Amino acid sequence: VALVMPKGSDPALDLTLLEACQQLDPISLGQYLKIRFTRVSNPKSKALSPTTWETPSQVWTSTTPVVIPFLSNGPVEKWVEKLCRQAGLPPLRSVEVSQKSFLAGIQHVLFKSGPSQQIPPYRVSGKKPSFHRFVRLVFEEPVEGPLGLGAGKHKGYGWFKSGGSNA
């Protein structure tokens, strides 16, 4: 999990927010995940670099599954297109969806009872788990990030990284 400050924000306020986050007890997201904030000023990992999440690109690949809360009849790709339209994004050239991530090293979307190494399901309004899929989007024009789509985007689901076809 990363906290990225908006471009042009006040550095003094940024520092105050970062210091406040460091004082938080670990945040629990269900029984599977605990988050503790640590300040990284010069990230060595590409995953922590703002360019991974903000660089304008036509191709965006989800790093966590997109939660589609209103799936009914029809292809999943059409529902992803609807999420993009609702977010005010430009027209899409193509949409790919999969239970497996398009990126190496990310767990599949397969839910089991009890603890597992799989990504925990996100429940919309306490209902049964919603439809989760990894997504690769190709837009007609470059889109500037960060990009998050679907239910749960404020809790870490549906986040995308920018990059080429092998993002």
Give tens-digit pLDDT for 47-84: 566 677 788 999 999 988 888 876 666 788 888 999 99
Q: Residue 114 pLDDT more than 60?
A: no
Contact status, residue 35 vs residue 27, Cβ threshold 8 Å: yes
75-86 residue pLDDT tens: 888 889 999 999
* Token representation of residue 17: 């927010």
Give this prediction's pTM. 0.67
Phi, psi at 129, each rounded to 5°: -55, 140
Nearest to 34 by CA among 120, 113, 103, 114: 120
**Lookup result for tokens 């990363």:** 2
Look at residue 38 in the predicted model and tell me its pLDDT.
Answer: 63
3-state helix, strand, coil in the chain (%, to 5): 20, 25, 50
* Token representation of residue 164: 């080429």
User: Distance of alpha carbon 2 from its chain centroid, rounded?
Assistant: 11
**Mean pLDDT, rounded, for 108-137:** 65
Indicate the pairing of strand 147-148 with strand 57-62. unpaired
User: Distance of alpha carbon 75 from its chain centroid, rounded?
Assistant: 21
Rounded CA separation 58/147 (Å): 12
Classify 115 as helix, strand or coil: coil
